[in-house]
Chains A and B, each alone.
Chain A
Amino acid sequence: MRRTIPDAASPDAPLALVTRTGNALRLAALDAQAQSQGLVAGMTLADARARCPTLATCAADPEADARELDRLAVAMRRFTPMVALDPPDGLILDISGCAHLFGGEKALARAARREAGYASRCGFGPNATAARALARHGGKNSDVHALPVTALDLDDRALAALRRAGLRTIGDLARRPMSMIAARFGEQTVTRLRQILGEAASPIAPRRAETPIRAHARFPEPIARTDDVMDVIEHLLTEAARQMEERRIGGRRFLVRLIRSDGARRDLAIETAQPVRDPAAVLRLLRERIDTLADPIDPGFGFDSVHLAVPWTEPLADRQRSLDGGAQEAAREGVTALIDRLGVRLGPQRIRRLQPRDRHLPEAAQRLVPAAQAAAAGWPPTDGRPPRPLLLFDPPQSVAVIAGVPDGPPQRFRWRGRLHEVVLAEGPERIAAEWWRRQGGHHAGGAGRTRDYYRIEDSDGRRYWMFRHGLFGQEADIGWYLHGLFA
């Protein structure tokens, strides 16, 4: 399967992916149109441009290709459970016993190629090596004996030796005694030949899908009491915990589906900050979820079945408790459980933590992230830096200020209808705008306004952090803002 890249400027221009090998840019892959212009993979970009000036190029990204191939392999599970990768650009599907479900081999291949959505070639063979050789070297014929010897994927020396001996096709080679071939062209040639002819096994290593973590219970008679349902859910959670323990994973997301006897479905979902598999902890969160439901669960004539799925899992190794009885771990787990519980009840966006950011502007130097996603990050040391207020106004409060000299500290200011007399002032601490983050910020005046911060104390003994937004002589209508309260 050949990859093709969208977003080329004109859809009908020949397209090539280029990669840097050594010191030259070479073509790594081509579309059909570029091939029809006589370009081949491995050619330098300069040569290709000389032949075909309209060639559109993109950088080759082998990792993205590998990811895409993985995605395709998963998509191909629709057709057969046995899908193996043939890197960098092939997939091998074992369709024994599957083809009739899709109306025959040809129809299956058509459906699979349509599903893949790329330009592709396919080949059928009695074994994986033969199919691969037919797909890559076969063209229209389906007889392995007519394939050129290059289909054996041998190294250059062996290929040159075969060509010199006048052996052009696999059929030529197959008619010769194997011992002679082994003696003249190496053991590997015989192995490949026997695999293609089906005389030796050519196993594939299919990717197996991970079985999802699931548990369900069906009842002979519908049950209606919530307590009974919770008991069943606890039982299912224990079952899921056993499955997860075998694989050393824990769940981050749990989904409970209650199916009522009249067919109505009710889904309950919870997410946790850390992977868990303890049934009691999950059950507590589920109870919390049920308590906060806007419309309570209506059992109607009772529930027929309860299904539990754990769609999001993460590795969770068994941890050893420390020697002091695990008091510290218990405390940490207690806080995590509290965050989960409050997150389920109030919404995860309402439980947040402060995290530092490497930015200059005070309001951008920190951000609030949901506590469930917060990574433990050390706060940068504050020694040697000018003091910062305990509370920041968000947004800064506009104030009217009288200053002694235009670029001096404020002398009095009016805020929320009250006049404050400034007794003590210190500054300015100049914080420039982040010009490197702005389009055209490196031009004069394009960066945004510089702020001059003052620490001031008014006659009531309150300390504020105030800044002048802009520089005198450079900007008009300069404003003053309160940006924080000191203790």
Chain B
Amino acid sequence: MMVDEVCLNEALLAGATEVFETMIFMDIRQSTAQDQEASCESNSQDGSEQHLKGNTFLGSITFTGDMEGCLGICCSISCAKAIAQNMLGMAPTDELNEAEISDAIGEVANMVMGSFKSRVQETVGNLNVSIPTVVKGRSLDASVGEDAGRTVINVNIADQYDAEFSLLYRRENKRES
């Protein structure tokens, strides 16, 4: 059975939406071109780190099996903090340390991976998932080799933050006809 990028893209967005609706309680939608233009303008004006060119957290989780690769969520530090606060039911003024924010982003990657996996299981086959890892820095990007397929979804969270979900994958010749 052939797996196309549209199918993976839809499953990734649906998985992320489910996690944000049930566990994080923040609205999430695929970004429009206007969102991205507005974000760039806003950042160039106030020098903030709302978008993905400043310091970011990258939460990623690898998988092997009938398809292998890596699923990632990349977002600004302020976005990651808001996600962690919402997950834990905290107020925006409550403080969180970097380890707590990092742990929360790892769990988001883990849960989106779980939701994605359940949606593609029938088409793709079995996936064995690793434990999530989170890194912080500038211009972060995951890679699983030059021959990997890549699907990226830019999202807007709570009409306030930009984030990016990415899926890098390689199927070799498994189950494809």
Chain A complexes with chain B: no
B residues apposed to A, CB below 8 Å:
none
Give A contacts to B, CB under 8 Å: none
